[in-house]
Amino acid sequence: MSPALKPNLRGAALLRAIWRLGRSYWTSREARIGALLLFVTIVLEFLTVYANLLIADYQRQVVEGLEHRQTSDFIQAGALYIVVLLGFVAASTLRIYVRQVLEIRWRRDLTSQFVGRWISPRAFAQSQLHQDLDNPDQRISEDIRDFVASALGLSLSLLSALATLVSFGGVLWTLSSAWKIPVDGQMIQLPGLLFWVAVAAAFVSIVAAHLMGRRLVPINFDRFRFEANFRYGLVRYRDHVKEVGLNRGELVERRGADGRFHDVYDVFLRLVRAERDLTLVTGSIGQLNGLLPLLLAAPAYFGGMLTLGMIVQARTAYDQVSGALLWFVNAYREIARWRANVERLDAFEVAIDDTARVFEGAGVCVVPAADGVLRLENVRLEAPIGQPILSGINATVRAGERVALVGAVGKGKSTLLRAIAGIWPFGSGRIEQPIDGAMLFVPQLPYLPIGTLRAAFCYPREEGCFSDERIREVLAELDLSHLGARLDECTAWDDALSGLEKQLLALARALLHEPRWIFMDDAMSGIDAETERRLYEILFARLPDSTLVALGTGAGVLDLFSTRWTLRPVGDGTATLQAA
């Protein structure tokens, strides 16, 4: 089983994390509408509490009308009871509706902020710097949803509990102040008897709930993590089902899925055991607590001090006060889940902030080149943990040059391209890069966005930026004419296209976008020498003014390049650049 993780946020640190997550919405432009919706929700919460107060009083009148056989009193009280009950239902329904509108607006704003900060040029560096941060997709889609829902639900239910405690507490105090209970053979009067009994019972329940339920926070934290890991493994298999099938790796995948679900199974058993113990204690106390008002009211009733209607009202008031005092007990499970949501979102936000600080103080300084020339000055690249990769890199590439970057596998060629792109801040030195919009990076296998095939060719620009005739012309030149009829088709293109088709699609993008600077990262790997040469000739013929920096080129095309860079190992375990 994967090791369990314990939440780190406690006390003031937990409050600061909650404040940071809430502040982003309540200090935004949307906050005015949110404040109005929150105000309406609070007003409706108070109205439902007041309606409950009236319902309890009319219940007493209805029962007393029955008890005393007063038909007119019974009918009048019953009619008012129905009217108030309908008003209560209307207020409760509207309260839920307004709260849900506020919830989705808050979630939309918070999701937009997290998505905007995560999907950025810094995302790759963040994934390298915080490799222990699991499933950012789940944190955005599920943890934000649960955080917002619980933040509103818990805060509004707490406010309602306080209002209920104040309103019904007064009723309970008044009703039970004249009651007498037998103590050592004497009848003793204790002002507000039922109120103090409710307080004492609630205190016992709260202590018991905390002692029995404090395990829920770390268990829920692990549960969210293991569920996400299990789902991610299934999604990964779905995305690579062809490769798994070709390698007959189904047994390994099944074992992996079984192992990840075993974590889910174990943590769920831990959860239900913890909830079983919590329910056993709180449920037992709750059942005994329900009998107390009747037992304490019995002497006063038999002594003629109370009517049956007053007992019904006292029981209702006691239940309301007890429920308000037991808010913490009833909300304990949701608080435990909410705290886990806060912990996961705060860790995500900290990772984003850490990455931003790394870029702000990055040793590798990437700036626009005033003269449109690519310059690398004393560049040293490192892994996020500080292990050196490249050192002493000094080079210049002028517009129109064609540079082949060669060297042994694993010597840092791809890392150098990432640094030029501005997504690898780890290290030192200065890189002057051409205008960002004029650069295009061509990987071995391109990223294919969700959507039509046309959108895949237009990426990273908007779909429709190139005419269908233009796209089909490029496809014909790259022997991809058969894809011309599928431009409107939406499917999983990562699976539908072969490896060669995806490589050619990446080259088609370059021909369509006509960038001034092209950086190719093993874009021709796996392609035979004759085809590779033909593709480079097409690229150079169609884009004669574009600058090309290509790594992983075959020996049969090196004569097409004006400059050759070679990464050679040096004594400190790194590699450096040598121009040929």
pLDDT tens string 65-105: 877 778 887 888 888 889 988 999 999 999 999 999 999 99
What amino acid is encoded at 173 in this protein? W
- In Å, how far from its chain's centre is CA 527? 40
Give the pLDDT score at 169. Answer: 85
- C-alpha closest to that of 535 among 510, 567, 517, 498: 510
Higher-scoring residue by pLDDT: 282, 108? 108
* Paired tokens of 28: 């935004």
Q: How many angstroms separate the CA atoms of 141 and 124, rounded?
A: 20
263: in domain: yes
Residue 130 counted as domain residue: yes
Q: Is 176 exposed, middle or buried (0-12, 13-18, 19+ CB in 10 A)?
A: buried
31-55, pLDDT tens digit by residue? 999 999 999 999 999 999 899 888 8
- State whether 118 and 53 are in the same domain: yes
Q: What is the CATH number of the domain that holds 531?
A: 3.40.50.300
In a domain, 216, yes or no: yes
pLDDT at 146 (0 to 100): 93
| pLDDT (0 to 100) of residue 349 | 86
Residue 6 in any domain: the answer is no
Let me know whether 429 and 575 are in one domain: yes
pTM: 0.71
Q: Does one domain contain both 380 and 354? A: no
Rounded Cα–Cα distance for residues 488 and 464 (Å): 11
Same domain, 184 and 116: yes
One domain, residues 546 and 559: yes
Q: How many domains does the chain have?
A: 2
Q: Do 59 and 208 sit in the same domain of this protein?
A: yes
Instruction: Say if residue 339's pLDDT is above 80.
Output: yes
Cβ count near 291 (within 10 Å): 9
182 forms beta bridges with: 187
User: Do 404 and 471 lie in a common domain?
Assistant: yes
- Where is pLDDT greater, at 571 or 167? 167
Q: What is the pLDDT of residue 242?
A: 63
Query: Would residue 306 count as lying in a domain?
Result: yes
Work out the angle between the directed axes of helices 31-67 and 308-325 (0-180°, nearest 10): 150
Give the position of tokens 């997709």: 137
- Residue 412: pLDDT band by 50, 70, 90 thresholds? confident
Q: Last residue of some domain: 326, 344, 359? A: 359
Taking the C-alpha atoms of residue 246 and residue 268, their distance in angstroms, rounded to an integer, is: 35
Write down which residue in 359, 392, 425 finishes a domain. Answer: 359
Q: Are residues 43 and 156 in the same domain?
A: yes
5 assigned to some structural domain:
no
Would residue 3 count as lying in a domain?
Answer: no
Domain boundaries, position 136: 11-359
Does the residue 132 lie in any domain? yes
Q: How wide is the angle at C-alpha 538 spanned by C-alphas 532 and 543, nearest 5°?
A: 125
Return d(Cα 195, Cα 131) in angstroms, integer: 54
**Co-location of 54 and 171 in the same domain:** yes
Same domain, 335 and 381: no
Residue 452 shares a structural domain with residue 506: yes
pLDDT higher than 90, residue 148: yes
At which of 317, 332, 359 does a domain end?
Answer: 359
Mean confidence (pLDDT) of the chain: 84
The pLDDT of residue 131:
63
Length of the chain: 580
469 shares its domain with 334 = no
The pLDDT of residue 181: 64
- Please give the DSSP secondary-structure letter assigned to residue 133: -
CATH number at residue 57: 1.20.1560.10
